[in-house]
Amino acid sequence: MRVETRSVLAADKIRKTMFLGLATIGMVIPSSGVALSHCGPGNTALQNNTVSKTLRVDGMGPVELILTDPQGRRTGFDPIRNTSFHDIPKAEYGVFEHPCSLPGKFLEVPNPTAGQYTLDVIGTGSDRFWAGAIISNGSGIDNMRYDFFGATAPGRSSRFTFPGKIKIFAAFGATMKIDSVSKTFEVDGTFSLGQGETIQPMTQPVTIELWNDCYSSAQIPAGSFRPSAGRMYVFHGVIDDTAVNANVTPMGGDRYAFKIEGATVAPCLPDHNPVKVMLVIGDYGKSIEVNAGFNR
């Protein structure tokens, strides 16, 4: 079995691939900035069951799923060895029906623990696949989601990692500019942590995601930020064909300011309001809706 290891919180070419094969399972996904059609992954069961504290993973395409929790316990099915795993307490693995496509697979874990979860997506046929994870905190809001895409074949496994719990920022605000002509975006904002909580931008991954009908993200790997003047942490580089300039600046106490600029080759930046913005630094994050300023 060939295993490809990837992290959702690291630079990942998987978001930059053309996914025309997904049309066969009801998805219309042109490329990196993922446009979710009416029959796309944004309308799967991933949108449901977000009130209880739950980790939900859905998969579409010719795949089976295995989820491993931070303690090494597994739930899912290995089609290569014809083996089922039921180790994660009260976790479920099964099939969900989708109105526009073939049935999909789901994993659901109540009360996920802190730490990194690993998702193995194992092919049972040759085609593109989509998998998505949503972490619900029990309030029905501040749910964090991650999307993974790729190509698979029988016996081929793609691996992704993501945190099982996100500690929600105590406060989070942002403004956004999107230039549809130059395919650039700029997000400026501030956030606050809870009393006594800390982040370490130099050693933690930083992720910014923008979406409504279209999806774009910049996922800066851990260890990428460097210290600069005025206690600022900065990153300048290219993440999967997107040129990114980012900084995170401590403002005193538990308050931070940030700015992330991106110039992308993605054909699908969000083009109308509202736009959902998600910022995650390490295990801390939050998503909000903002009204962006557009240059068309």
Task: Provide the phi-psi class of 39: left if phi over 0, else alpha when psi is between -120 and 50, else beta.
Answer: alpha
Classify residue 13 by burial, with Cβ atoms within 10 Å: 0-12, 13-18, 19+: exposed
> What are the phi and psi torsion angles at 14 (to 5°)?
-60, -25
Positions of CATH 2.60.40 in the chain:
167-295
Q: What is the pLDDT along the chain (296 residues), one digit of tens a residue?
A: 333 333 333 323 323 222 223 333 333 333 333 333 333 333 333 333 334 589 999 999 999 999 999 999 999 999 999 999 999 999 999 998 766 556 799 999 999 998 889 999 999 999 989 888 888 876 555 577 777 878 899 999 998 888 888 888 999 999 999 998 899 999 999 999 998 899 999 998 898 888 887 777 777 888 999 999 888 999 999 986 789 999 999 999 999 999 999 998 666 788 899 999 999 898 888 889 999 999 98
Classify residue 139 by burial, with Cβ atoms within 10 Å: 0-12, 13-18, 19+: exposed
The predicted structure's pLDDT at residue 241:
74
Residue 190: what residue type? T
What the block records as the tokens of 236 is 């300048």
Per-residue 3-state assignment (H helix, E strand, C coil) for the chain: CEEEECCCCCCCHHHHCCCHHHHHHCCCCCCCCCCCCCCCHHHCHHHCCCCCEEEEEEEECCEEEEEECCCCCEEEEECCCCEEEECCCCCEEEEECCCCCCCEEEEEEECCCCCEEEEEEEECCCEEEEEEEEEEECCCCCCEEEEEEEEECCCEEEEEEEECCCEECCEEEEEEEEECCCCEEEEEEEEECCCCCCCCCCCCCEEEEEECCCEEEEEECCCCCEECHHHCEEEEEEECCEEEEEEEEEEECCEEEEEEEEECCCCCCCCCCCEEEEEEECCEEEEEEECCEEEC
Rounded to whole angstroms, how far apart are CA atoms 119 and 70? Answer: 11
Rounded to whole angstroms, how far apart are CA atoms 167 and 194? Answer: 9
The predicted structure's pLDDT at residue 235:
97
Our CA angle for 84, 85, 89, nearest 5°, is 145
Nearby residues of 208 by Cβ (< 8 Å), 6 or more positions away: 187, 217, 218, 246, 260, 262, 277, 278, 279
CATH of domain 167-295: 2.60.40
CB distance 232 to 248 below 8 Å:
yes
pTM for the whole structure: 0.69
Q: Which residues pair with 48 in a beta bridge?
A: none
